[in-house]
Homo-oligomer: A and B are copies of this chain.
Amino acid sequence: MAASTPMTLPVLGPEEIEAAARPAVVFDAVRAALVAHAEGRTTVPPPTHLNFPHADGDCHVKTGWIDGADDFTVKIASGFYRNPERGEPVNHGLVCVVSAHTGRVRAVLDDGGRLTAWRTAAAGALAGHTLARPGARSVGVFGTGEQARLQVRWLAMLRPVGPVLVHGRAEGRAAALCGRLAAHGLDARPAAAAEAAGADIVITATPAGAPVLEAGAVRPGAHVTAVGADMPHKNELPAALFARARVIATDDREQCLHHGDFGHAVRAGAVPGDADVPLGALLATPPERPDDAVTIADLTGVGALDAALASAVVREILG
């Protein structure tokens, strides 16, 4: 190896990445990756987790490959929850895009977590748009963070949306999110939990460790997407809601059993461990959906989506 002079390693920054990752690029990559994953055409080893309790931090390393694709990816994503005390963002990380033909690192994407945020938003929007009734318009949102905002914004790219009912534990943060959504032209206002849970489409994007809504508050005909859970102790949806669901979509059964809301419902005995359908299969062939059925999408984030999106962005920028 010492004999070779490596070419300079390209590092792509946030601005380049933002310009390249147009919504159509993101939706296409995420949809294709979900379908490939549902069809077993992906390689996604279990993620590596490191914990840094002294700094209230953790780091996940996710690898993924769409089988046969030109590139695979290695993503480093950290969350250090005391960073704001020193004026630093909570999340850091990068994505390495590696050639599946030579093993050479084609590029490092210094994206500040944006690609993960967008692929999560796009997956949630695709799930909501595919599973919700055609006429579903009102959206209830639990959570007031960046991902809550993106979930609504990206769904609104696929179908008309409104009103948006935002429920947050802190009133001020819910109002702030409504202000940002209004700036996107959306009709949004803070709401009580029961009101948000009664919307046509319900989205949970919180770090909650216990259900954020009552199963009985969700109306017949509603669709519910949960994106917050990324560790076994996190939980947004009550088990009883799964028992009512006509369709339970998961982005990855094993992951959702391990650290998604689906796993909580299975362990509670509400549904069997094979009650779910891969989201990608539903994107390829939308399910029959009676108007009064409840549908759920439980999304935990799959490395194959990182791979597809990062690879698409590198293709846009480097050709």
Residues of A within 8 A of B (CB): 1-6, 8-9, 11, 13-14, 43, 45-46, 48-50, 52, 54-55, 57, 59, 61, 63, 65, 68, 72, 74, 76, 78-80, 83, 86, 88-94, 96, 98, 100-105, 108, 110, 112-114, 117, 146
**Do A102 and B80 touch across chains, with their CB atoms under 8 A apart?**
yes
Checking B74, B78, B100 against A61 with a beta-carbon cut-off of 8 angstroms, the contacting residue is B74
The count of identical subunits is 2
> Closest Cβ of chain B: how far from A280's Cβ, in Å?
21
Chain B residues with CB under 8 Å of A45's CB are 48-50
Chain B residues with CB under 8 Å of A96's CB are 76, 94, 96
User: CA–CA, A65 to B112, complex, Å?
Assistant: 22
Chain B residues with CB under 8 Å of A49's CB are 45
**Do B78 and A98 touch across chains, with their CB atoms under 8 A apart?**
yes
Closest to A101 in B: B55
Taking A57-B102, A59-B72 as given, write out 12 further A-B residue pairs in contact, using a Cβ cutoff of 8 Å, ordered by the A residue number.
A1-B89, A2-B112, A3-B89, A9-B108, A11-B108, A48-B63, A50-B72, A52-B72, A55-B102, A57-B103, A76-B98, A94-B105
Chain B residues with CB under 8 Å of A98's CB are 59, 76, 78, 92
Closest to A62 in B: B48
Chain B residues with CB under 8 Å of A86's CB are 102
**Do A90 and B59 touch across chains, with their CB atoms under 8 A apart?**
no
Given A1-B114, A103-B57, A146-B2, also A9-B94 (CB < 8 A): yes
> 28 A-B residue contacts at CB 8 Å?
A1-B90, A1-B91, A1-B117, A2-B114, A2-B117, A2-B146, A3-B89, A6-B14, A6-B112, A11-B11, A11-B108, A48-B48, A50-B72, A52-B72, A57-B100, A57-B103, A59-B72, A74-B74, A76-B96, A76-B98, A78-B103, A79-B103, A80-B101, A80-B102, A92-B103, A93-B103, A94-B105, A105-B110
